[in-house]
Structure 1
Amino acid sequence: MAIKIKTKNGEINIENDVIASIVGGAAIANPGVVGMASRAALRDGVDQILNRETYGRGVVVHQKDIGLSVDVYVVAQYGMRLAEISKSVQKKVKYNLDAQLGVRAAEVNIIIQGIQTSDYR
C-alpha cells in the first residue's frame, strides 16, 4: 500500500519500500541501535540484523485517518536505556519523514525485538 499525497498538479505515490528505507536509516543512526530487526523474527531468524535492502521487513506502515502510523522493529545494544533509545528513534523518524517526504507521522511505535550483547554484527 503506497502513501498517496494529492497536490494541485496531481497525485504523488510513495511506496512503502521508500518509507522503510528512510525510517530504517533514521533508526540505525541513533546511539544504542545496533540495527533493524524483522517483524517476523521466528520466520526470518531471531538474531538476523537486516541490511539496507531488507529494511522493509522491519518497518510496518499504516495510513490512518489521523495520519501515518509506523511500527519500527529494532535491535538495541546491551546496557543502554531502552526508553531513551525509543524516544530518540521516534524523534528522528518523525523528523526524517517530514524533512524528506513532507509526510507527518502521527504515531511511531518502537518495538525492541532483541538486544545484542557482543560487539560483533
Structure 2
Amino acid sequence: MAIELATEYGKVYITEEVIAVLAGSAALDCYGLVGMASRNQFKDGIAELLRRDNLSRGVEVRKDAQGALTIDLYIVVSYGTKISVVAHNVQTKVKYVLSEVVGLAVESVNIYVQGVRVAQ
C-alpha cells in the first residue's frame, strides 16, 4: 500500500518500502548504531545483523486511519554507548528526515534494541 501526498501539481505515491529504506538510512547515520537487525525474533539467541542493502528488513512502517505513520526500527547498538541516548538520537533523526525532507506526518518512531556488538 502506498502513501499518497497531494501537491498543487498532482499526487505523489510513495511505497512503504521506500519509507523503510529512508528511515533505515537515516538511522545508520547516528553515532552508536552498529546496524539494523532483522524484524524476525531471535534465532538461537542471536540477532541477525543486516547489511546496508537490506535496510528495509529492519524497519516496519504502519499507517493508521488518520494517515499518520508509525515507524518501528529494530537496531543493534555499539557496546559502551548509552542505549537511551542512541535510541533518542535515532528517533529524532528518523522523524526529522521523514517529516521535513519527505513531508510525511510521523506519529511515532519506536526503537527495539535487538543486540549489542563489541567494536573490534
Per-residue deviation at 1:12? 1.6
Aligned residue number for residue 11 of structure 1: 11
Q: Does 1:104 align with 2:105?
A: yes
1:50 alignment partner in structure 2: 50
CA distances 1:17-36 after superposition (whole Å, capped 9, x unpaired): 21111111111111110001
Map of 1:72 onto structure 2: 73
> Which 10-residue stretch deviates more, 6-15 or 91-100?
6-15
Q: Is the 8 A contact 1:74 1:113 kept in 2?
A: yes
Aligned length, in residue pairs: 118
Please say if residues 66 and 106 of structure 1, whose CA atoms lie closer than 8 Å, have aligned partners that are also in contact. Answer: no
Aligned residue in 2 for 1:27: 27
Q: CA deviation at 1:66?
A: 6.2
Residue in 2 aligned with 1:94? 95
Alpha-carbon distance in structure 2 between the residues aligned to 1:50 and 1:100: 25
CA RMSD of aligned residues (A): 1.8
Could you say what secondary structure the match of 1:98 adopts? helix
Q: Measure how far apart 1:116 and its partner are.
A: 0.5
What secondary structure does 2:42 align onto? helix
TM-score by length of 1: 0.86
Structure 1 stretches lacking a partner, 5+ long: none
Deviation beyond 4 Å, 4+ runs, structure 1: none
CA distance in 2 between counterparts of 1:63 and 1:4 reads 11
Amino acid at match of 2:92: K
Matched with 1:36 is 36
